[in-house]
């Protein structure tokens, strides 16, 4: 396929051009599958834990044995309702589980139980922040409950296919957006927003490597200014933000090139190959299954009354947007900082715990949480709640900056020692003798020592070479091993150097 190689070679340039949206407009809708963090499966009592030996977490219901029946997990319902309420959607008083019929070895019953015509959640919105800082509202068409299928394994089985049904029956919430995103970046921003939200709501662990959070992207292009949708392709099962961005960029460039070279985009399902950085055709619309959806007669319609919905609403945590707005107002943070600090509930909670430990210093706390602390976590690939440095200990360090026991620069040294040893700030400061010197006599002593050490420079300074002042600051600071209070040192030098 020559044409495809060409796409590959030129996709970067075209992708960029398209992102600027000169001639073509990109239209993207996402279907996100969030695995719900229930302990047991959506229709059986088998556990959902990841990584067990094949087929050890599948009971008769998951195996689709003759005679067994599904029983809906109430916790999965509660989680779906939490999500619906968080995006301002309608919670269906009555929703219906349907069977999606198709044959596949890892689909034990020959059908997947999903919601089709009447989903539990319909019509919500999410706001994303664009690169220029402006906000855009993205519509969420619906979110419905369904069961996951099992896995087919081919590796190490020499020509055979192994079936692992541990994942079969795992509850999923499929979150379907309106086709309202106009670039790969917007799509990623939306996906991140959903990712943040489901973790806030504690309904999904968001683990993308394990497939707990993945998406299908529907992508089409149309001439800029047109209000008619182009033919879309669906890129299946992408499980990282970076891949979503790259897959969409590639696909947009491919579609534009197909059209530019006189061809037609075919409605089809495509797979993204991260190793080759391209999407490949999986099956066309003509080959698509007729899923023969019909209401599952084994499950009654799910009916939720207003009291139930209100009880779930009452348990909702503060949501990311509300929290960010409060951070800005309460702590005087910039929108950007507030956004970063509320990107996850754990980070926000951590930040708030730090500010409580060092009252009156919300900006200092923000700088340190987003700066040194975030960098240290990132460097070691740790989660906030790994417990490496508690908020109380970080607040202890910031308290010593605030009360001028140490300078900001020394504080970084203390931070590193705390990170490595787990000791508290005061212990590190004491054992390393890092307290800031504020005793005028001691600073004067150091200045006099330096003046005696560099008579030539002193003479030059006194002859008018003002810029040597900095030299003396440096030397005097060095003599105090960096511990002199900088303001005091400056003042004393100004007094003493002129003689």
Partner 1 sequence: MTDHRTVTQLAAALRARKVSSVELVRACLARIEASQPALNAFITITADQALEQAEAADRDLAAGRGGPLAGVPIGHKDLFCTAGVRTTCGSRMLENFVAPYDATVVARLKAAGAVMLGKLNMDEFAMGSSNETSYFGPVRNPWKTDLVPGGSSGGSAAAVAARLLPAATATDTGGSIRQPAAFCGVTGIKPTYGRVSRYGMIAFASSLDQGGVIAQTAEDCARLLRSMAGFDPRDSTSVDIPVPDYLAGLDAPLAGVRIGLLKEFFDTGLDAGYERRVREALAVFERLGARLCELSLPNIPRSVPAYYVVAPAECSSNLARFDGVRFGHRCRNPRDLIDLYKRSRSEGFGVEVKRRIMTGTYVLSAGYYDDYYLKAQRVRRLVAGDFERAFAEVDLLMGPTTPTAAFALGAKSADPITMYLNDIYTISANLAGLPAMSVPCGFVDGLPAGLQIIGPHFAEQRLLHAAHCFQLETDWHAHVPERCA
* Binding residue (CB under 8 A) for partner 1 from 299, 309, 374, 377: 299
Q: Which residue has the tokens 């007669």?
A: 297
The one segment of 21-29, 84-92, 99-107, 467-475 that binds partner 1 by CB under 8 A: 99-107
Nearer to partner 1, 67 or 381 (CB): 67
Closest approach of partner 1 to the CB of residue 293, in Å: 8
Closest distance to partner 1 from the beta carbon of 151 (Å): 14
Shortest distance, position 287 Cβ to partner 1, whole Å:
13
CB of 443 closer than 8 Å to CB of 472: no
Pick out residues in 56-85 that bind partner 1 (CB under 8 A). 60, 63-72
Q: How many residues does the chain have?
A: 499
Residue 101 binds partner 1, judged by CB under 8 A: yes
Question: Rounded to the nearest whole angstrom, what is the least distance from the CB of residue 345 to partner 1 in the complex?
Answer: 34
Shortest CB 119 distance to partner 1, Å: 18
How many residues bind partner 1 (CB under 8 A)? The answer is 29
Pick 110 or 332: Cβ nearer partner 1:
110
CA–CA distance, 255 with 135 (Å, rounded to integer): 28
118 vs 473, beta carbon nearer partner 1: 118
To partner 1, the closest distance from the beta carbon of 369 in angstroms equals: 48
Instruction: Spell out a b/e string for 56-83, using b for 16 or more CB atoms within 10 Å of the CB, else e.
Output: ebbbebbbbeeebebebbebbbbbbbbb
- Footprint (CB under 8 A) of partner 1, residues 184-203: none
| Beta carbon of residue 275, minimum distance to partner 1 (angstroms, whole number) | 26
Residue 96 binding partner 1, by CB under 8 A: no
How far is it, in rounded angstroms, from Cα 72 to Cα 69?
A: 10
In the shown chain, the binding pattern of residues 152 to 191 toward partner 1, with x for contact by CB under 8 A and - for none, equals: ---------x-x----------------------------
Work out whether 464 is an interface residue with partner 1 (CB under 8 A): no
- The residue (of 163 and 395) whose beta carbon lies closer to partner 1 is 163
Cβ proximity to partner 1, 18 vs 38, nearer residue: 38
286 binds partner 1 (CB under 8 A): no
Nearer to partner 1, 72 or 402 (CB): 72
- Could you list the residues that contact partner 1 (CB under 8 A)? 60, 63-72, 99, 101, 103, 105, 108-111, 161, 163, 290, 292-294, 297-300
């Amino acid at each position: 396929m020559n044409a495809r190689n060409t796409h590959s070679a030129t996709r970067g340039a075209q992708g960029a051009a398209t992102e600027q949206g000169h001639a073509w407009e990109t239209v993207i809708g996402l279907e996100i599958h969030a695995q719900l963090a229930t302990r047991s499966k959506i229709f059986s009592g088998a556990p959902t834990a990841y990584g067990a030996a094949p087929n050890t977490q599948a009971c008769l219901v998951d195996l689709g044995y003759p005679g067994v029946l599904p029983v809906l997990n109430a916790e999965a319902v509660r989680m779906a309702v939490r999500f619906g309420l968080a995006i301002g959607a309608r919670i269906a008083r009555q929703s219906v589980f349907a069977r999606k019929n198709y044959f596949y070895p890892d689909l034990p019953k020959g059908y997947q139980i999903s919601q089709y015509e009447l989903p539990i959640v319909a019509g919500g919105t999410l706001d994303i922040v664009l690169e220029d800082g402006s906000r855009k509202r993205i519509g969420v068409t619906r979110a419905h409950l369904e069961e996951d299928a099992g896995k087919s394994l081919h590796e190490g089985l020499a020509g055979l296919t192994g079936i692992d049904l541990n994942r079969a029956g795992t509850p999923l919430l499929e979150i379907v957006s309106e086709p309202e995103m106009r670039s790969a970046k917007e799509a990623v921003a939306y996906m991140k927003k959903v990712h943040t939200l489901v973790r806030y709501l504690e309904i999904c662990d968001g683990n993308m490597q394990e497939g707990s959070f993945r998406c299908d992207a529907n992508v089409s292009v149309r001439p800029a200014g047109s209000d008619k949708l182009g033919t879309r392709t669906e890129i299946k099962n992408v499980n990282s933000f970076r891949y979503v961005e790259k897959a969409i960029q590639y696909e947009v460039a491919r579609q534009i090139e197909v059209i530019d070279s006189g061809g037609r985009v075919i409605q089809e399902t495509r797979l993204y190959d991260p190793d080759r950085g391209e999407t490949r055709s999986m099956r066309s619309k003509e080959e698509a299954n007729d899923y023969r959806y019909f209401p599952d007669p084994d499950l009654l319609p799910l009916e939720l009354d207003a009291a139930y919905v209100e009880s779930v609403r009452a348990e909702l945590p503060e949501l990311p947007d509300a929290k960010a707005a409060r951070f800005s107002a309460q702590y005087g943070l910039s929108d950007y900082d507030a956004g970063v600090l509320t990107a996850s509930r754990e980070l926000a909670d951590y930040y708030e715990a730090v500010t409580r430990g060092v009252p009156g210093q919300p900006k200092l706390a923000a700088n340190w949480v987003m700066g040194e602390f975030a960098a240290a976590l990132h460097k070691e690939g740790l989660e906030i709640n790994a417990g490496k440095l508690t908020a109380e200990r970080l607040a202890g360090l910031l308290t010593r900056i605030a009360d001028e026991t140490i300078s900001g620069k020394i504080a970084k040294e203390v931070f590193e020692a705390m990170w490595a040893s787990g000791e508290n700030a005061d212990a590190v400061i004491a054992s390393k003798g890092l307290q800031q010197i504020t005793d005028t006599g001691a600073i004067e002593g150091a200045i006099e020592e330096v003046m005696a050490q560099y008579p030539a420079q002193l003479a030059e300074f006194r002859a008018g070479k003002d810029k040597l002042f900095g030299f003396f600051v440096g030397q005097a600071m060095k003599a105090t091993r960096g511990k002199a209070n900088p303001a005091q040192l400056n003042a004393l030098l100004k007094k003493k150097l002129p003689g």
